[in-house]
Amino acid sequence: MVQEKREAGMTGCEECGLVVSLPVLEPGQRANCPRCGHLLMKTIKHPQHRTLAYGIASLIMLVLSVSFPFMSFSVQGIRQEITLMHSAEMLNQFENSLLALLLLMTVVILPACYISSVLYLYWLSGKHGKIEKDSVNHQVKQLCRLTLGIEPWLMVDVFLIGILVSLIKIAALADVGLGMSFWAFCIYTVLVVKCVSMVDRTWLWLQFAPMVPLKEVKAGDSHDSLNHIACHVCGQLNAVAEHGRARCLRCHGTLHPYHPWKNLQYAWALLLASAVFFLPANLYPMMYTVSLGKSEGSTILEGVVLLWHHGSYPVAMVIFLASVVIPLAKIFTLGWLFYTAGRSQSDESWKAIRRLKLYRVTEFIGRWSMIDIFVVALLVALVQLQNLMAIYPGPAALSFASVVILTMLSAMIFDPRIFWQHVKPESKQDNQSGHDISPFQKEPRS
């Protein structure tokens, strides 16, 4: 007797648009799109217990990170000690309120909100064995949408790399001490990264609301079929609305019909704006250094050259890659992808997959360009010894932060399904049995 496969529901791949049926996965398994390889869903062993443990530990480490001295800086008997929150305060004091807010949001506030929300949602999902899923209220669904929306803006790990770069830059100038909060922040970073890696959007939504079946859609369809709208928040397939914007049947989020050319125009606009900001970000000083009453500004490239002359070759390479190569490469790469997406595509799937992989890499590395901004923020707070030695933020800092944010937004708003606009589905993907998910992979143990 053949055992019938259980299905969690049908969803559309957000990167190639293929409609696939999701089977019920065992703990430790993951399902990938059979056409482009994009991760559709993953499960971990003991999801509630493990996520709650990592989340609670993260919040404890966050409290310790902001409660004690973070770093100290001393030269010729003059000592300066700062806390983690002092970096944002000093940026605000030097009339860089936007950078201070960016630092505070991406390193403290948003991670704290994200972890707290994940703790509540996973605790609630554990109770749902005794609660009917229909009783999930609108506030819980809103919290799910908000939590998953802020995930790309968590930059705790980027800030830690910025701290390490700052230490190497100023270690030759004076004595630097590491406080208790520094070590707590290192542990906090590892825990946050681990906590984020365990959260899966599809699995989380299934705990609160099952997928609503849509009769007119079958496995093997795609966005080109024009018989559904895939929700970009929860993955639910919805009927095409006749008038105005509709709401998702499952999460009640606003549906965005497939308009590739409209999204492409928005992506181009954001990318061109980032290119405009890239010029002042590299031409104006990133920070000013005051030594014995003499002030001297330094651009990004001048800072890299100075580090290279001092023998800090690894740090110079990190700054050069993160602050010059990556932003410039991302602008040119996204421009090339947008240009090829706007032209008529061939019907060869390997070309679409190649462009999609390049897009994934570009989207992933974009946030790491924020390292230089975090370096400036930390040095401005730490090195404040009046006329003896001090560091102040330069006008290029805000422009560079704008470059990073605009390129991230440009990559986010771009719809990669346009790569598959004229790609013909293969026979494997035309299988309508509803179980064309391959391969299943056991998630590595951690």
Residue 312 pLDDT > 70: no
| Helices of type H across 223-366 | 260-283, 300-309, 313-320, 326-342, 349-365
pLDDT band per the 50, 70, 90 thresholds, residue 275: very high
Residue 379 is predicted with a pLDDT of 81
Tell me what pLDDT residue 286 has. Answer: 86
Question: What is the pLDDT confidence band of residue 347, given thresholds at 50, 70 and 90?
Answer: low
Q: Using one digit for the tens of pLDDT, what is the confidence trace for 108-161?
A: 999 999 999 999 999 888 775 444 544 567 788 888 889 988 999 999 999 998
CA distance 315 to 375: 12
Looking up tokens 């070590």 gives 183
Most confident of 43-57, 337-351, 420-434: 43-57
List the domains of the chain with CATH numbers.
259-420 (1.20.140)
Q: Angle at Cα 148 formed by Cα 323 and Cα 19, nearest 5°?
A: 105
pTM: 0.85
- State the pairing for strand pair 440-442/384-385: unpaired
Contact 238, 217 (CB under 8 A): no
Adjacency order of strands within the sheet including 39-42? 39-42, 29-32, 440-442
pLDDT at residue 59 in the model: 95
Higher pLDDT, 69 or 296: 69
- 387: left (phi > 0), else alpha (psi -120 to 50), else beta? alpha
Q: How far apart are CA 327 and CA 369, in angstroms?
A: 7
Average pLDDT of span 68-91: 82
Tokens of 318: 């990190």
The whole-number pLDDT of residue 441 equals: 44
Give the model confidence (pLDDT) of 196-251 as tens digits.
999 988 888 888 888 888 888 888 888 887 888 888 888 888 888 765 568 888 88
Residues 263, 292: Cα–Cα separation, whole Å: 53
Task: Give residue 258's pLDDT band: very low, low, confident or very high (50, 70, 90).
Answer: confident
Portion of the chain with pLDDT greater than 70, in percent: 86
Q: What is the largest CA-CA distance in the chain?
A: 86
